[in-house]
């Protein structure tokens, strides 16, 4: 009993930090409709800044509690200022861009902040020295409970109360609530949107910074904090209902308690438990506990997609020549070039699989790496536990990916827009966490080694041909599906769900099948990749891997069938190979993403279309 | 004609939104080859009534029978399979496809060929699609993307799509909204001809009284959720209740 009480209190303490982050995210989303990926970065910055500021204050005035509290608040304010600055420099320019581009831009910020933090504070984890009063315990029902955690329990409700006062009693708060309901109306009433949005970003970022600062005494400041927290924050915001602060509070309590007791009951699967809770909530309430359907539901794709025509003969010939050159590569290229070529072929399929979802399906998945990774782990687990040969491993790979595609896809296709993107991301993080956490099964961070091809395929040339057959074969099958009745029906459901249903098409089922096909294809890519590398690691499932796939599809153009192939070649072949030689490659990639979004806010395809129409006039 | 069993029959339909009774005890029936217009001032409950019939909304009470078969609780796509074609007040077509492809998708769905992953859809049911486009006068534009069509042409494409499953019943929500007067008459003439030729039952809502009086065989008038009058053009014109509703609210649409 006593143990349960302590566990319950621990959950409450964790809920406070979670609420601070999630409330900031939800307020920002409510007003600006931007899903701020960089919110986890603000949380991380909060921890690092608090580490520096608190230590400086302590050096100046002794290790006093009031200086500690002041340090935390100063850190929060500093993060708020950084958030406002990011809003003014970057986000202000892209409020009208498609959601996908906003997410990408804020992900660019994540990468930049990671490298900046690394440059300023170094790669080591930074613990805060803890004076006696920070290490104190209190007696709760006969058990020792940290005093600091006990105080944290009250932080969440106090902040909720302060936010309530802010939203009910101040002009700023009333405007925020009004804008959350209908921001066009607020603009029409002559409210300065710029100041309001910047203010909201300041508030939201400061809350995230405070969240990072208050966990500093119990966790060290480290470089993994940003992406670790963002998935959890997304889950809380989705469960609570996007834009709802009380919803975020309830959801953070729920999720934190599920985690607190989950650690006791199923220590290896806390994140799976969290996922199940989220799934249960979304089944009963698709807009979260206290959320409402979005007033301004936008179509998943920003503009009207162009007509897809059959590939012209020139393109087919070019494709055949490229294929012949690739197949003949062992005759003229060295082993390193062959390795690069194999990877390239894998990523073409990875990009093509995501393209099926994003283009014809209109489903923007932010966690497509999950299925790539599941494919890789499917093969690797087969090798590790069943000692299966490569041939069987390459069957297990798409099987595992497809299985999860069915389960996750069932939920995903019922949502749209931001909820959908967040859900795909959350699912991917769950798979990643399982690969990372479940050491007995997956080897955790050390991965699974010794995933070697069968003897006949050990020769690089033969493996290249195998990869060409499997990956390009699957890519061509996906292409055929796009041109086949299924692809047309899928596009029909994307163009007009109303009309699609009115001619007997089941839009959700079409999307689900597309989701599973994409998962299976990504699984094949992952399986081939595992054997090419000889090992698998949790990084195969990480968020940056998902973003790689998105970038490949976007670079090539979402609405052209050959886009993902071109995009994969451009992104992987040029971009990454060049960036390998840059020391601060994360920041460079982040800046490139931000520049891309700023230069083409309507997407590359939209940009080309606009230029085309400017020169030759709109098509009739 | 009157001896034929009705294609569509609705009895005692009720739909409430909170405290508002949007549709209150509405009954109607419709025979093959008949054009039935549903009219009434704004907020009379026409669109709600329409959405109950096409499955978009679920009725709180009452029943809807298509050739004697209950449609209660069926989603729009299942109702379509039973032979109900629809056009929308604001046209809904597939903008990323050509006119022909729009009709082809409807034909593929009708023939249950959607779950095919190999053969290119471009070659499927070309002749049938073009025959349908011929009937609505859109064959010359078959290769144009729907995204660039004029509004009146989109309405014709919608009609061709709605005809793709050889419907028994055609539901048209304000078929001529947003069209120029000459286009309106042309579209309704076309609809009327198709309805007669194919023995389709057609129910439409409409604001334009010229369209209503010129093309409906029978007219239902709604106000505040209830049916207040029913009959042919002359009877409805002369009905005092109808006069009161329209003159009283000052919306004599069309001004004639």
pLDDT digits (tens, 9 = 90+) for A529-559: 999 999 999 999 988 899 889 888 887 777 7
Structure token digits, residue A240: 């609570």
Contact state of B108 with A483 under an 8 Å Cβ cutoff: no
Rounded-to-integer distance, Cα B157 and Cα B92, Å: 10
Q: Please give the pLDDT value at position A606.
A: 59
In this predicted structure, which of A63-72, A247-256, A260-269, B150-159 has the lowest mean pLDDT?
A: A260-269
State which residue of chain B sits closest to A360, comparing Cα positions.
B96
Q: Is pLDDT at B116 greater than 60 in this prediction?
A: yes
Q: Please give the pLDDT value at position A523.
A: 97
The alpha carbon of A455 is separated from its chain's Cα centroid by a whole number of angstroms, namely 38
Q: Which of A300-314, A551-565, B127-141 has the highest mean pLDDT?
A: B127-141
Do B101 and A488 form a contact (C-beta atoms < 8 A)?
Answer: yes
Nearest to A488 by CA among A471, A474, A503: A503
Q: How many residues does chain A have?
A: 620
Q: At what angle do helices A225-240 and A39-61 cross, to 10 degrees?
A: 120
Q: Please give the pLDDT value at position A294.
A: 60
Judge if B129 and B253 occupy the same domain.
Answer: no
Q: Is pLDDT at B32 greater than 60 in this prediction?
A: yes
Mutation to test the A interface, candidates B111, B117, B129, most A Cβ within 10 Å: B117
The alpha carbon of A229 is separated from its chain's Cα centroid by a whole number of angstroms, namely 11
Judge if B230 and B157 occupy the same domain.
Answer: no
Contact state of A485 with B95 under an 8 Å Cβ cutoff: no
> A335: pLDDT confidence band, cut at 50, 70 and 90?
confident
Q: Please give the pLDDT value at position A296.
A: 44
Three-state SS at B50: helix
Mean pLDDT, to the nearest integer, of A487-515? 93
Could you tell me where the DSSP H helices lie in A450-584? 460-467, 473-483, 485-495, 497-502, 507-533, 543-556, 563-568, 577-579
- In Å, what is the CA distance from A181 to each residue of A33, A171, A178, A417, B46? 11, 16, 5, 17, 29
Q: Which of B106, B113, B116 sits opposite A503 (nearest CB)?
A: B106
> Which CATH number belongs to the domain containing residue B4 in this structure?
3.40.50.300
Q: Which of B78, B121, B165 sits opposite A485 (nearest CB)?
A: B121
Judge if B67 and B106 occupy the same domain.
Answer: no
Residues of chain B contacting A521 with CB distance shorter than 8 Å: none
Residues B153, B159, B165: CA angle, nearest 5 degrees: 145
Q: State how many domains chain B has.
A: 2
- What are the beta bridge partners of residue B9? B29, B65
Judge if B178 and B51 occupy the same domain.
Answer: yes
State the count of interchain CB pairs (< 8 A) between A and B. Answer: 119
pLDDT digits (tens, 9 = 90+) for A130-153: 888 888 888 887 888 899 999 999
> B249: pLDDT confidence band, cut at 50, 70 and 90?
low
Rounded-to-integer distance, Cα A461 and Cα A467, Å: 10
**Domain stop point among B166, B181, B208:** B166
Q: Is pLDDT at B220 greater than 60 in this prediction?
A: yes
Do A29 and A422 form a contact (C-beta atoms < 8 A)?
Answer: no
Mean pLDDT, to the nearest integer, of A560-582? 74
Provide Rg for chain B, Cα atoms.
18
Rounded-to-integer distance, Cα A479 and Cα B167, Å: 34
> A301: pLDDT confidence band, cut at 50, 70 and 90?
very low
Residues of chain B contacting A619 with CB distance shorter than 8 Å: 145, 148
Q: Which of B101, B116, B161 sits opposite A503 (nearest CB)?
A: B161
Rounded-to-integer distance, Cα B78 and Cα A612, Å: 42
> A300: pLDDT confidence band, cut at 50, 70 and 90?
very low
Do A377 and A431 form a contact (C-beta atoms < 8 A)?
Answer: no
Distance from CA of A506 to the nearest CA of B (A): 7
pLDDT digits (tens, 9 = 90+) for A25-48: 999 988 888 888 899 999 999 999
Q: Please give the pLDDT value at position A302.
A: 41
Nearest to A393 by CA among A516, A530, A537, A519: A530
Do A486 and B108 form a contact (C-beta atoms < 8 A)?
Answer: no
Nearest to A253 by CA among A3, A17, A43: A17
- Count the Cβ atoms, other than its own, within 10 Å of residue A309: 11
Q: Is pLDDT at B10 greater than 50 in this prediction?
A: yes
Lookup result for tokens 């005035």: A61
Mutation to test the A interface, candidates B50, B90, B114, most A Cβ within 10 Å: B114
**DSSP letter at A296?**
T
Q: Please give the pLDDT value at position B254.
A: 45
Judge if B159 and B182 occupy the same domain.
Answer: no
Q: Which of A305, A498, A505 sits opposite B92 (nearest CB)?
A: A498
Rounded-to-integer distance, Cα A88 and Cα A316, Å: 46
Three-state SS at A116: helix
Mutation to test the A interface, candidates B108, B125, B140, B155, most A Cβ within 10 Å: B108
Mean pLDDT, to the nearest integer, of A462-471? 94
CA atoms within a 13 Å half-sphere pointing along the CA-CB vector of A403: 9
Structure token digits, residue A158: 């106090």
Distance from CA of A305 to the nearest CA of B (A): 5
**CB-based contact, B82 to chain A, within 8 Å:** no
Element containing residue B86 per DSSP (H, E):
strand B84-87
Q: Which of A303-312, A437-446, B106-115 has the highest mean pLDDT?
A: B106-115
Mutation to test the A interface, candidates B81, B95, B129, B167, most A Cβ within 10 Å: B95
**CB-based contact, B114 to chain A, within 8 Å:** yes
Judge if B45 and B58 occupy the same domain.
Answer: yes
Greatest Cα pair distance, chain A, in angstroms, is 81
**DSSP letter at B208?**
-
Listed in sequence order, the residues at least 6 apart from B134 whose beta carbon sits closer than 8 Å to its beta carbon are none
Rounded-to-integer distance, Cα B20 and Cα B74, Å: 24
- In Å, what is the CA distance from A532 to each residue of A341, A344, A469, A480, A543? 11, 11, 14, 27, 22
Q: Is pLDDT at A62 greater than 90 in this prediction?
A: no
Judge if B140 and B100 occupy the same domain.
Answer: yes
Q: Is pLDDT at B109 greater than 80 in this prediction?
A: yes
Q: Please give the pLDDT value at position B256.
A: 43
Q: Is pLDDT at A562 greater than 80 in this prediction?
A: no
Rounded-to-integer distance, Cα A556 and Cα A558, Å: 7
Name the more confident of A274 and A162.
A162
Contact state of A619 with B94 under an 8 Å Cβ cutoff: no
Strands B35-39, B218-223: pairing is parallel
Mean pLDDT, to the nearest integer, of A77-103? 88
Rounded-to-integer distance, Cα A288 and Cα A29, Å: 14
Judge if B78 and B9 occupy the same domain.
Answer: yes
**DSSP letter at A221?**
B
Q: Please give the pLDDT value at position A299.
A: 39
Mean pLDDT, to the nearest integer, of A82-91? 93
Q: Please give the pLDDT value at position A333.
A: 85
Judge if B68 and B180 occupy the same domain.
Answer: yes
Rounded-to-integer distance, Cα B117 and Cα B250, Å: 57
Mean pLDDT, to the nearest integer, of A312-340? 85
Supply the ipTM of this predicted assembly: 0.89
> A608: pLDDT confidence band, cut at 50, 70 and 90?
low
Contact state of B77 with A505 under an 8 Å Cβ cutoff: yes
Q: Is pLDDT at A380 greater than 50 in this prediction?
A: yes
Q: Is pLDDT at A272 greater than 80 in this prediction?
A: no
Name the more confident of B245 and A215.
A215
Q: Is pLDDT at A483 greater than 60 in this prediction?
A: yes
Q: Please give the pLDDT value at position A577.
A: 64
Mean pLDDT, to the nearest integer, of A290-306? 55
Q: Which of A484, A486, A495 sits opposite B94 (nearest CB)?
A: A495
- Count the Cβ atoms, other than its own, within 10 Å of residue A192: 11
Nearest to A146 by CA among A130, A158, A134: A134
Name the more confident of A619 and B24.
B24
User: What's the domain range around B145?
Assistant: 92-166
Q: Please give the pLDDT value at position A178.
A: 85
**Domain stop point among B135, B166, B197:** B166
Judge if B148 and B198 occupy the same domain.
Answer: no
Mean pLDDT, to the nearest integer, of A384-388? 90
Mutation to test the B interface, candidates A305, A307, A360, most B Cβ within 10 Å: A307
State which residue of chain B sits closest to A504, comparing Cα positions.
B77
Contact state of A304 with B105 under an 8 Å Cβ cutoff: no
Q: Is pLDDT at A620 greater than 60 in this prediction?
A: no
Judge if B63 and B174 occupy the same domain.
Answer: yes
Nearest to A371 by CA among A409, A407, A404: A404
Structure token digits, residue A390: 């490569």
Residues of chain A contacting B116 with CB distance shorter than 8 Å: 484-486
Strands B35-39, B169-173: pairing is unpaired
Q: At what angle do helices A39-61 and A65-89 cross, to 10 degrees?
A: 140
Q: At what angle do helices A507-533 and A473-483 cross, to 10 degrees?
A: 170
Q: Please give the pLDDT value at position A613.
A: 64
- Count the Cβ atoms, other than its own, within 10 Å of residue B18: 6
Distance from CA of B149 to the nearest CA of A (A): 9
Residues of chain B contacting A481 with CB distance shorter than 8 Å: 117
Q: Which of A484, A506, A618 sits opposite B120 (nearest CB)?
A: A484
**Over chain A, what is the mean pLDDT?**
87
State which residue of chain B sits closest to A492, comparing Cα positions.
B94
> A304: pLDDT confidence band, cut at 50, 70 and 90?
low
> B2: pLDDT confidence band, cut at 50, 70 and 90?
very low
The alpha carbon of B249 is separated from its chain's Cα centroid by a whole number of angstroms, namely 26
Q: Which of A523-532, A578-587, B218-227 has the highest mean pLDDT?
A: A523-532
Q: Is pLDDT at B229 greater than 80 in this prediction?
A: yes
Q: Which of A32-41, A297-306, A472-481 has the highest mean pLDDT?
A: A472-481
**CB-based contact, B161 to chain A, within 8 Å:** yes
State which residue of chain B sits closest to A499, comparing Cα positions.
B92
**Domain stop point among B149, B166, B183:** B166
* Strand arrangement of the beta sheet that strand B69-70 belongs to: B20-30, B8-17, B61-66, B69-70
Task: Output phi, psi for A270, to 5 deg.
Answer: -60, -40
Distance from CA of A485 to the nearest CA of B (A): 5
Tell which phi-psi region holds residue A513, choosing left (phi > 0), alpha (psi between -120 and 50) or beta: alpha
Nearest to B101 by CA among B131, B43, B146, B35: B146
**CB-based contact, B124 to chain A, within 8 Å:** yes
Q: Please give the pLDDT value at position A50.
A: 95
Distance from CA of A43 to the nearest CA of B (A): 42
Residues of chain A contacting B171 with CB distance shorter than 8 Å: none
DSSP structure string for A543-557:
HHHHHHHHHHHHHH-
**CB-based contact, B143 to chain A, within 8 Å:** no
Rounded-to-integer distance, Cα A277 and Cα A266, Å: 14
Q: Is pLDDT at A415 greater than 60 in this prediction?
A: yes
Q: Please give the pLDDT value at position A617.
A: 59
Could you tell me where the DSSP H helices lie in A33-64? 39-61
Q: Is pLDDT at A82 greater than 60 in this prediction?
A: yes
- Count the Cβ atoms, other than its own, within 10 Å of residue A183: 22
Q: Which of B80, B117, B124 sits opposite A481 (nearest CB)?
A: B117
Rounded-to-integer distance, Cα B7 and Cα B65, Å: 8
- Count the Cβ atoms, other than its own, within 10 Å of residue A141: 12
**CB-based contact, B93 to chain A, within 8 Å:** yes
Q: Is pLDDT at B245 greater than 60 in this prediction?
A: yes
Contact state of B93 with A496 under an 8 Å Cβ cutoff: yes
Q: Is pLDDT at A423 greater than 90 in this prediction?
A: no
In this predicted structure, which of A15-19, A402-406, B241-245 has the lowest mean pLDDT?
A: B241-245
Judge if B112 and B63 occupy the same domain.
Answer: no
Task: Output phi, psi for A337, to 5 deg.
Answer: -60, -35
pLDDT digits (tens, 9 = 90+) for B11-31: 999 999 888 888 989 999 999
Three-state SS at A39: helix
C-alpha distance across the termini of chain B, in Å: 31
> A480: pLDDT confidence band, cut at 50, 70 and 90?
very high
In this predicted structure, which of A492-501, A605-614, B203-212, B235-244 has the lowest mean pLDDT?
A: A605-614
Task: Output phi, psi for B8, to 5 deg.
Answer: -120, 135
- What are the beta bridge partners of residue B218? B36
């Amino acid at each position: 009993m006593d143990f349960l009480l302590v566990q319950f209190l621990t959950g409450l303490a964790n809920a406070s930090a979670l609420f601070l982050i999630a409330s900031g995210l939800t307020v920002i989303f409510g007003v600006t409709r931007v899903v701020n990926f960089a919110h986890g970065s603000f949380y991380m910055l909060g921890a690092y800044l608090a580490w520096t500021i608190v230590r400086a204050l302590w050096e100046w005035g002794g290790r006093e509690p009031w200086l500690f509290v002041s340090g935390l608040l100063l850190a929060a304010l500093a993060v708020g200022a950084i958030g406002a600055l990011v809003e003014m420099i970057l986000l202000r320019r892209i409020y009208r861009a498609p959601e996908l581009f906003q997410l990408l831009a804020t992900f660019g910020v994540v990468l930049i902040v990671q490298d900046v933090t690394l440059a300023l504070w170094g790669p080591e984890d930074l613990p805060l020295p803890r004076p006696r009063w920070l290490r104190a315990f209190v007696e709760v029902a006969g058990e020792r409970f940290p005093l600091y955690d006990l105080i944290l329990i009250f932080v969440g409700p106090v902040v909720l109360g302060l936010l309530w006062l802010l939203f009910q009693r101040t002009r700023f708060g009333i405007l925020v609530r009004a804008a959350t309901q209908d921001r066009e109306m607020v603009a029409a009433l002559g409210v300065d949107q710029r100041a309001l949005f910047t203010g909201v970003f300041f508030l939201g970022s400061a809350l995230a910074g405070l969240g990072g600062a208050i966990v500093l005494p119990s966790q060290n400041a480290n470089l993994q904090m940003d992406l670790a927290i963002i998935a959890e924050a997304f889950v809380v915001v989705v469960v609570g209902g996007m834009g709802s602060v009380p919803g975020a509070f309830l959801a953070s309590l729920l999720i934190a308690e599920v985690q607190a007791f989950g650690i006791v009951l199923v220590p290896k699967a806390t994140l799976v438990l969290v996922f199940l809770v989220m799934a249960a909530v979304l089944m009963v309430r698709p807009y979260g506990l206290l959320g409402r359907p979005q007033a301004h539901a936008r179509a998943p794709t920003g503009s009207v997609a162009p007509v897809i025509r059959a590939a012209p003969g020139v393109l087919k010939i070019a494709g055949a020549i490229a294929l012949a050159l690739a197949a003949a590569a062992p005759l003229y290229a060295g082993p390193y070039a062959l390795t690069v070529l194999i990877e390239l072929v894998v990523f073409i399929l990875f990009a093509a699989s995501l393209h099926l979802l994003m283009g014809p399906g209109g489903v923007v998945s932010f966690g497509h790496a999950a299925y790539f990774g599941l494919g890789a782990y499917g093969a690797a687990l087969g090798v590790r536990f069943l000692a299966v040969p490569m041939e069987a491993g390459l069957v297990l790979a798409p099987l595992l990916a497809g299985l999860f595609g069915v389960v996750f896809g069932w939920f995903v296709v019922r949502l749209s827009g931001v909820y959908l993107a967040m859900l795909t991301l959350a699912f991917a993080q769950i798979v990643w966490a399982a690969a990372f956490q479940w050491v007995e099964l997956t080897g955790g961070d050390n991965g699974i080694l010794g995933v070697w091809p069968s003897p006949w395929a050990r020769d690089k040339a033969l493996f290249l041909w195998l990869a060409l057959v499997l990956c390009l074969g699957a890519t061509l099958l996906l292409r055929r599906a796009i041109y086949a009745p299924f692809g047309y029906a899928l596009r029909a459901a994307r163009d007009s769900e109303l009309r699609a249903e009115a001619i007997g098409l089941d839009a959700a089922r079409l999307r689900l099948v597309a989701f599973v096909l994409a998962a299976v294809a990504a699984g094949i890519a992952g399986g081939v990749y595992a054997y090419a590398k000889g090992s698998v690691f949790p990084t195969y499932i990480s968020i940056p891997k998902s973003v790689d796939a998105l970038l490949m599809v976007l670079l090539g153009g979402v609405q052209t069938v050959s886009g993902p192939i071109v995009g994969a070649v451009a992104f992987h072949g040029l971009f990454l190979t060049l960036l390998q030689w840059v020391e601060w490659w994360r920041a460079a990639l982040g800046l490139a993403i931000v520049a891309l979004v700023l230069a083409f806010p309507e997407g590359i395809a939209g940009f080309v279309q606009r230029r085309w129409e400017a020169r030759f006039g709109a098509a009739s | 004609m009157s001896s034929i069993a009705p294609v569509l029959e609705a009895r005692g339909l009720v739909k409430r939104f909170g405290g508002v009774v949007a549709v209150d005890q509405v009954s109607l029936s419709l025979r093959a080859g008949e054009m039935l217009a549903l009219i009434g001032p704004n907020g009379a409950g026409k669109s709600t009534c329409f959405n109950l019939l096409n499955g978009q909304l679920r009725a709180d009470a009452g029943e809807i029978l298509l050739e004697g078969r209950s449609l209660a609780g069926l989603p729009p796509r299942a109702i379509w399979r039973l032979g109900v074609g629809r056009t929308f007040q604001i046209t809904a077509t597939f903008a990323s496809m050509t006119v022909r492809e729009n009709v082809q998708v409807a034909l593929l769905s009708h023939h249950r060929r959607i779950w095919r992953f190999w053969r290119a859809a471009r070659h499927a049911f070309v002749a049938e699609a073009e025959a349908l486009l011929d009937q609505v006068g859109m064959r010359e534009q078959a290769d144009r993307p729907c995204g660039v069509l004029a509004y009146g042409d989109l309405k014709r494409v919608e009609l061709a799509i709605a005809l793709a499953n050889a419907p028994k019943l055609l539901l048209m929500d304000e078929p001529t909204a947003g069209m120029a007067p000459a286009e309106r008459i042309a579209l309704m003439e076309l609809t009327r001809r198709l309805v007669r030729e194919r023995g389709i039952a057609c129910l439409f809502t409409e604001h334009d009284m010229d369209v209503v009086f010129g093309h409906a065989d029978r007219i239902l008038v709604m106000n505040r959720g209830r049916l207040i009058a029913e009959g042919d053009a002359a009877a409805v014109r002369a009905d005092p209740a109808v006069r009161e509703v329209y003159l009283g609210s000052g919306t004599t649409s069309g001004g004639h």
